[in-house]
Structure 1
Amino acid sequence: MNDVLIYDEIGTGDSTPKAVTTALANRSGDLTVRVNSPGGDAYAGLAIMNTLREYAGKVTVIIEGLAASAASYIAIGGADRLVMCSNAELMIHDAMLMTQGNFDQLTKDAAQLNRISDTLAGIYATKAGGTKEQWRDLMKAETWFSAEEAVKAGLADAIHGMKAEQPATVSASALTQYRYAGRSNAPAPNLAALATPSRKENIVSFLNRFARNEEGTPPAAEENIGFSPEQWNRLTAALRLDQAATLEEVVAAVETLSGATDQEIAAAINDVKAQVKAQAKIDRTVVVDAAVWDKMQETLKVGVVAQTQAGRLNAEQVVDQAIRVGKASPGQREQWIAAFIKDPEEITRRLNKAQEIPRIERGYSKVNLDEQENKGWVR
């Protein structure tokens, strides 16, 4: 059997990055990774997860008992397919760190923990959907999942009723560092927090499903695709594209349409309506062919987008020149550009009258080499 066991705390015993890498060194073909761990060192967990991701064969992870903390994202992020035994559990939480020091040191440690937790939230979001912010909320609450709940949340792919061939136990003392000692002592996961994806997430999810199809080919009517050939035809028609359009062409069309705001498009269409009304007969009724009207709207949209892009380019040229001669700060570039687009004459006048910003040569600052090094373990 081509199995690897992760039964220890992450970062100890056979559950270190070195041990897992060594175990995989001479293996080939599909791999099964069996997990029963209370978690452990965060960076060791990331290293093991990345080792599994780089394995050439298909990786199936089976959670046989518990995958908590670092063990959870090893299983979720390192598997091509994640299966949980029917009575297994999974837990996610914000990163923790044992540390000490003054205000500055603790502030740095807090920033480090926040950054690491965002990274872990991204792993869960990539697997199950939703945003990093939504998963951070579940992590902050220390959320425990049963096998059924993990599948429902999208973290696991299936439930497996097989009895573990090499059963392992997790010491109760290993769970004392957590808020809850197992799923039976924890509240149910707040899955409602994941049920309302944003418009942007829906668009990205749709394009990701499209990207999994061969470019230039309308998607087949398969259960796991998520949209039908009819929907594909409607999308390409709405974007004025051929049905054999590639992903790049679809993305480019979406970007072009998103360049103009709804207000700008509505204003341009209202202008046309006003012109038509002014030129209409006494009865104020004008009949326009539907295809002609659609073409007029499309032309207006393209014109608005082109005008917006030209205005942005002109603003960038003026502001970048001001930065080069020292009359504007690079850190305020976007603010200057936005102001120029709103009132070009006023901002040009202000930049011309501005005094050159004094420049200070850098590279000779004294560095404190005695800064205390953090010795804690992130978990």
Structure 2
Amino acid sequence: MDPRQRLHALASNRSGSGYRMAVQPGSTTARVDLYDEIGYFGVSARDFARDLQALEDVDTIELHVSSPGGDVFDGIAITNALRQHPARVVATVDGLAASAASFIVAGSADEVVMARNSELMIHDAWGMAIGNAADMRKLADDLDRISNNIASMYADKAGGTVADWRDVMLAETWFSAEEAVEAGLADRVETKREDDEDAPAKAAFDLSVFAHAGRAHAPAPRTPVASASGSRNTQTSERSTAVAFSDEQMTALREFAGVPSDADEGTILAALEDKVTAPAPQPTPTTPTVPEGMALVDQATLNALRTDAAAGREARNRQLEQERAAIVDSAVQDGRIPPARREHWLNQLAADPGAEQVLASLAPGLVPLEELGDSGTQVRNQASTEDDTYRQLFGDTPKEG
């Protein structure tokens, strides 16, 4: 049977299953409807890949999707079958692309179109196991590996890292058509026709297995690569990433680059490169503000001032020592204290300058200037007299030097 006749037969035989491949006679565009679960009792990867091989002469595949997802590995196999086909793949999410269906469109299509009011959902891989603790731990490791693999497809399409997209998947994130484009998972929202009416999408599948039954019941999505300025990631037929800017963004870029309002992208890029490579302007030197009552000095002057201050303190200490010595020597000379007590009074004056008043209060001649009789006894008596006088003035505890 001719491949095209076989496809027409396939479309007829499976018209009630939600899965269909068809090529109009004489056309090089094939339409593929994926309106069912992936794997399980829906569309198997084996059937999909076999039917896709019959599309030998087409150069465009229009993939229309409305699916709650399903088996991960069937979904990956379908993704790779579409990737390996030479035709350009344009995927349109007509209703819902959830779970495995979301990475089929994000990972296989050269262009992803969100029909108005359609939704897209991504989440971490699920699994079930029966067995002991080791079996459960192995399942957890397998699910992490599978989920990281899925996250890499979203990262390849939209940018960001695998870890970033895993966080979004773990939160079970739902996107409206516009939010999917903003996140970079889709390229554009389908253009509205004049006779179309907006209506919220109705779930054709049982979504109770998910944490949220659609975008209306889910929190606002958080995405690793959000375009606050309105630009989006697009993919060419060679699956390379390009950036499309709006008219408003192009105007802002021209103004920033300082080029005419009709400058093309090449002129803008050259001007921006000049700005990037130009040396940064040097800051204008400013005079530092000095608080009132203070003055700035250089380091050499500051060091000299510190040296002078240290020398001044040393000279002042020597001067004080000389003054104390003169006071004590004067007291010895006029007989107020005996020579044997000279060091005691020098220490006393150094510890307590008020001791000078004690010396001044002593009457001259208390100590004979000429030695009479037992000089030792006389000195002891004089010292006792001084001590009595000191205790009368300052108490019983003498100050030590």
Distance across 2 between alignment mates of 1:112 and 1:98? 11
Query: 1:190 Cα shift?
Result: 1.5
Distance across 1 between alignment mates of 2:189 and 2:158? 16
Residue 20 of structure 2 aligns with which residue?
none
Name the structure with the higher helix share. Answer: 1
Query: 1:13 Cα shift?
Result: 5.6
The residue matched to 2:46 in structure 1 has which SS? helix
Q: 1:202-257: per-residue Cα shift (whole Å, max 9, x none)?
A: xxxxxx879xxxxxxxxxx976x9x813455778999xxxxxxxxxxxxxxxxxxx
Query: 1:14 Cα shift?
Result: 6.0
The within-5 A match list for 1:334-345 is: none
Query: 1:26 Cα shift?
Result: 2.3
Distance across 1 between alignment mates of 2:271 and 2:152? 33
Residue 351 of structure 1 aligns with which residue?
none
Check conservation: 1:95, 1:117, Cα contact below 8 A. Answer: yes
Question: In 2 relative to 1, CA 185–80 (structure 1 residues): closer, same or farther, beyond 3 Å?
Answer: same
Distance across 2 between alignment mates of 1:195 and 1:26? 39
Residue 5 of structure 1 aligns with which residue?
33
Query: 1:24 Cα shift?
Result: 1.6
The within-5 A match list for 1:294-313 is: none
Query: 1:114 Cα shift?
Result: 0.3
Residue 229 of structure 1 aligns with which residue?
270
Distance across 2 between alignment mates of 1:83 and 1:222? 27
Check conservation: 1:4, 1:32, Cα contact below 8 A. Answer: yes
Which one-letter code corresponds to 2:140 in the other structure?
A
Residue 181 of structure 1 aligns with which residue?
213
Check conservation: 1:36, 1:170, Cα contact below 8 A. Answer: no
Distance across 1 between alignment mates of 2:241 and 2:154? 18
Query: 1:74 Cα shift?
Result: 0.3
Distance across 2 between alignment mates of 1:108 and 1:209? 36
Aligned match for 1:29, one of 51, 55, 59: 59
The residue matched to 1:4 in structure 2 has which SS? strand
Normalising by structure 1, what TM-score?
Answer: 0.51
Q: 1:50-76: per-residue Cα shift (whole Å, max 9, x none)?
A: 111111011000000000000000011
Check conservation: 1:31, 1:60, Cα contact below 8 A. Answer: yes
The within-5 A match list for 1:241-252 is: none
Distance across 2 between alignment mates of 1:94 and 1:209? 25
Question: In 2 relative to 1, CA 236–48 (structure 1 residues): closer, same or farther, beyond 3 Å?
Answer: farther
Distance across 1 between alignment mates of 2:120 and 2:39? 19
Query: 1:23 Cα shift?
Result: 2.2
Distance across 2 between alignment mates of 1:232 and 1:16? 51
Percent identity between the two aligned chains: 44
Question: In 2 relative to 1, CA 153–234 (structure 1 residues): closer, same or farther, beyond 3 Å?
Answer: same
Q: Are positions 1:194 and 2:229 aligned together?
A: no
Which one-letter code corresponds to 2:212 in the other structure?
Y
Q: 1:154-206: per-residue Cα shift (whole Å, max 9, x none)?
A: 1100111478xxxx985443x22110111111111013x4359xxxxxxxxxx
Q: 1:287-313: per-residue Cα shift (whole Å, max 9, x none)?
A: xxxxxxxxxxxxxxxxxxxxxxxxxxx
Check conservation: 1:95, 1:116, Cα contact below 8 A. Answer: yes
Residue 129 of structure 2 aligns with which residue?
99
Check conservation: 1:6, 1:14, Cα contact below 8 A. Answer: no
Which one-letter code corresponds to 1:16 in the other structure?
S
Distance across 2 between alignment mates of 1:11 and 1:236? 54
Question: In 2 relative to 1, CA 79–4 (structure 1 residues): closer, same or farther, beyond 3 Å?
Answer: same
Which one-letter code corresponds to 2:270 in the other structure?
P
- Residues paired across the two proteins, number: 210
Which one-letter code corresponds to 1:22 in the other structure?
R
The residue matched to 1:3 in structure 2 has which SS? strand
The within-5 A match list for 1:1-379 is: 1=24, 2-12=30-40, 15-27=43-55, 28-160=58-190, 161=192, 171-173=204-206, 175-191=207-223, 193-195=224-226, 228-231=269-272
Distance across 1 between alignment mates of 2:50 and 2:278? 53
Structure scoring higher RCO (CA < 8 A, sep ≥ 6) equals 1
Query: 1:106 Cα shift?
Result: 0.5
Residue 310 of structure 1 aligns with which residue?
none
Query: 1:115 Cα shift?
Result: 0.6
The residue matched to 2:33 in structure 1 has which SS? strand
Check conservation: 1:94, 1:136, Cα contact below 8 A. Answer: yes
Normalising by structure 2, what TM-score?
Answer: 0.48
Question: In 2 relative to 1, CA 237–52 (structure 1 residues): closer, same or farther, beyond 3 Å?
Answer: farther
Distance across 1 between alignment mates of 2:133 and 2:81? 36
Which one-letter code corresponds to 1:180 in the other structure?
H
Q: 1:303-325: per-residue Cα shift (whole Å, max 9, x none)?
A: xxxxxxxxxxxxxxxxxxxxxxx
Query: 1:139 Cα shift?
Result: 0.3
Check conservation: 1:36, 1:169, Cα contact below 8 A. Answer: no
Distance across 1 between alignment mates of 2:183 and 2:202? 25
Distance across 1 between alignment mates of 2:184 and 2:264? 20
Check conservation: 2:184, 2:225, Cα contact below 8 A. Answer: no
Q: 1:1-54: per-residue Cα shift (whole Å, max 9, x none)?
A: 510111111014662212221222122211100000000000000000011111
